[in-house]
Structures are given as C-alpha cells and as structure tokens.
Structure 1
Amino acid sequence: MQRIRAVGREAAAKKYDILSAMMAHALAGDAQDQRLVLRLMALITTRYNWQGNELAVGQREIARLWCVDERTVKRDMARLRASGWITVKRQGARGRVSVLGLDLDRILLDTRPRWANIGPDYVARMAGADPQPAADTTVVPFRRPDMAAAEGAWSAARAQLASEDRALFDAWFACLADGGVEDGCLVLIAPSRFHAAYLRTHLIDRLRVAVRRADGRIGQIRIEAG
C-alpha cells in the first residue's frame, strides 16, 4: 500500500491525519502515554521540519517548551526512541544537537487500532496509507509450517509482529528460530541465506522495534542463516 508522506499538494491534510492518529492513540491510553504523546506533538507542531523529516532542538529548549527539567526530557526522549517513533539521523557532537527524525510508518502501525475512534471516513482515507511493505513479485519467500512458539522475548515479539501484519508475519517472521541472547544481542536463525539477507535489508527495523518492546535489555539483533 501507499505510505503516507506529509509532502506535496496535500501536505497540510496529511499532517492533520498523522496528528489525528497520534491524538486518538493518546486519548485511548493512560495518563502517562497521553502526556508523552502530547509532548511529542508539541515538538512536531513547533520545531519539526516535515519536508526534510528533521527535528533539531536541544534538551534545554525542549525542557522550556514542556515546562519540565532536562532529566525529564532525557527520559521521555529515550522512551520515544525505544518505541521507534523517533530515530537518530545524526548524532550531536561538539556543541551541536542531534538531528532526529520521525518514523511515520511506525507511528501509523501503533496508532492504527484507534483510527476507528475518529470515524469511518478517517479509516477509509487512511486505508491507502496503511504502512505495509510492498509485495516483492520477483521472489517467493521460503515458507515453513508454523513452528512452536518460542519462550521469552522472541515469543512476545512474534505476537506483536503477527498482530501488526499477519501476511507479512507468515511470509518472513514465522519461520525464524530463536538462537538465544548473547550479550544483549538476540540471535535469530533464518531458513536460508536469502531469507536472512532480505530481513537484514528490508525488515530489520520492524524486528528491532518489536524485540525492544518485548525486552528493553536487548539492544541488537543478529540474523543468521540456518
């Protein structure tokens, strides 16, 4: 499906759609989630460069905007990065602030369950922007029968991946075997070198977010061919 981008002739409407999705997601959550999303929306509406997907603002400025101390800024920005909503495009150095970006596809995936709260017209409009990787018609993914659910972090990550996109899960994630965790790195075993290479190239971010949410102590993923 076509992915939403807040650029072009309909940029203004797309921006409202993204912010509406975030709003609906926040209102359905608890007070902590509502506060975090509100703070991110404040950054988006005041400092975010939609055209370049860049957010460059220092912690002191953020603290002033949010009316909090810098320790709170560090904590909440870390939560946003861990969720996958914010990514680091360029790390700050020598007095320069980091340049951040928004992962709009990740935001749409996480907010999708609450779109219906806005209304059926919104759901119908957003259906064409639902973030799912385009099907690769040149290759046929290796398929295996469903394997028994793994234990631990990979089990929870599998459940999230399946709930986000069942077809994608069945094609690329279901056959991955849990190779264990080594020094904060989850090892996943793919059925072939091609399968492993495809995951590393096209779907590693999706895997990384799901695993991080399952176990925040896991910072890396290594995909090996079985």
Structure 2
Amino acid sequence: MDRVRAVGREAAAKKYDILSAMVAHALAGDPQAQRLVLRLMALITTRYNWQGNELSIGQREIARLWCVDERTVKRDMARLRTMGWITVKRQGARGRVSVLGLDLDRILLDTRPAWSNIGPDYVSRMGGAEAGEGGEPDRTVVPFRRPDIAPAEGLWGAARLRLAAEDRPLFDAWFAGLSDGGTQNGCLTLIAPSRFHATYLRTHLIDRLRIAVGRCDGRVREVRIEVA
C-alpha cells in the first residue's frame, strides 16, 4: 500500500474516505472497539493537523472532550499506540505536550476488511478491488497461485500468518525469509538471511513487525532483527 497523505487537490475527498473507513471498521466491531474509534475520530475532527500529520493536545483536554477521566485517556491512547494507529513524533518535555501523528497506512490496512460494507465503488476507489472484480475477468492474464504458508508453532508462526493475510506480496518479499530466534524479556528476535535484508527491515518495516507480534502476544513489545 502506498503511503497515504490527505493533502493536495483531492485532500478533502481523501479525508472523508479515511474517516469512512474508520466508521465502517467501528460499526463492524464490538462496542469497545466502536468507542475507541469514535474517541480517536473526535481527536481527528477537532485537533488533528492533516497537512503536518500532527496531533498536539494534552491529556486533560482529551479527557474533557471525551467526557472521561485522565486514567481512561492514558489507557485508550496506549491502546491506539499499541495498535499502531498513533505514533509519537516528539515526546513532550518541560510542560509541553507530546506531538503525535497518525499512521494512515496502518489505519487503512486494519479497516480494509470492512470497506465492502460501504460499497463496491468505495472499494474500487480505495484500490481494494482485485483485478477483474466487478466486471469481466481479463482472460489474457494467467492467475498465479501463491503457495499456502506452512503452519508453524509459536509466536512467530502466528505473526507470519497475520502478516501474510495483511499483505501477501510484502510478506513474500521481506517476511517469509525470516526465522525465529527466540523470545526473551518481552523481545522477539528474528534472523534475516542477509545484512541488507536486516537493514531494510529495521529501517522500513520494523513497526509492522512489532504490531503483528504484539497483536499475537501483548506481552512481547519489541522485535530485534539479527543476521544469520
């Protein structure tokens, strides 16, 4: 998925599309998920700077907006960071609040299963339609069937299945070649086949690995990449 930015000539339409994805995702979930997404949407519509991808608001102000106490704010903001929907761009210091950002790619990735509830036009507009969907299949293209992922035990085995379901081409290119190096003190070690492979993962994909692993086991918060 390309990096999403709601700026430029079509910024307004992109904003509505992103919010629509979040609404559909929330309505398809349980009441707890609906409440969490609604609270994030309240921050987006009242305080989020789309152009700079910045959300700067203190916990006391969030508590007032959400009509909750600050303990609830801390809990839900931590959940959103664990999900990867919110990132910390600049940590607050000396009385200044932290500057947060939204990972719109992660949000769209997580909400994608609910896009069809909005309608096929939305799915097509968001680039979620498969080739040939909604019309006659292109008979000049021979479909390529990817081999099934061999089941594996343990945390990395579960995370592999999750990563493959999210984005199979990305999984095949960068995650399939990783092997399990064990888990210790809340950190999963993965072994990459080459130094270049490890460097690319650390630079570009470590957050996606961390989120997938954390969703399989919330006790594991970190992922370390080493070279075979």
TM-score by length of 1: 0.89
Show CA shifts across 1:76-110 (max 9, x none): 00000000000000111111111100000000100
Sequence identity (%): 82
User: Aligned in 2, Cα 1:204/1:66: closer, same or farther, shift over 3 Å?
Assistant: same
Distance in 2, Cα, partners of 1:2 & 1:109: 11
Q: Amino acid of the residue matched to residue 158 of structure 2?
A: A
Structure 1 residue 177 corresponds to structure 2 residue 203: no
Alignment RMSD (CA, Å): 1.8
CA–CA separation in structure 2 for the residues paired with 1:102 and 1:156: 26
State how 1:110-149 maps to structure 2 within 5 Å. 110-127=110-127, 149=151
Distance in 2, matches of 1:8 and 1:28, equals 31
Partner AA of 2:211 in structure 1: V
Offset, 1:17: 0.4
SS in 2 for 1:127: coil
Offset at 1:150? 3.6
2:91 corresponds to which letter in structure 1? Q
Which residue is equivalent to 1:68? 68
Partner of 1:208: 210
Aligned ranges 1:194-205 → 2 under 5 Å: 194-205=196-207
How far apart are the structure 1 equivalents of 2:153 and 2:203? Answer: 26
Residues 146/14 of structure 1: CA separation in 2 closer, same or farther (3 Å cut): closer
Structure 1: which 5+ residue stretches go unaligned?
129-144
Mark the CA change 1:183 to 1:147 in structure 2 (over 3 Å): closer, same or farther.
Answer: same
Q: Are positions 1:47 and 2:47 aligned together?
A: yes
Q: CA deviation at 1:205?
A: 1.5
Return 5+ residue gaps in structure 2 as ranges.
129-146
Q: How far 1:3 sits from its partner (Å)?
A: 3.4
User: After superposition, what is the alpha-carbon deviation per residue over 1:112-164, rounded to whole angstroms, capped at 9, x for unaligned?
Assistant: 11111001111111008xxxxxxxxxxxxxxxx98854422212211110001
> Which residue of 2 is the match for residue 154 of structure 1?
156
The higher relative CO (CA closer than 8 Å, separation ≥ 6) is in 1
Aligned length: 211
Change in Cα spacing, 1:195 to 1:146, as seen in structure 2 (3 Å) is farther
Alignment correspondent of 1:7: 7
Query: 1:40, 1:72 → 2: CA distance?
Result: 13
Q: SS in structure 1 opposite 2:213?
A: helix
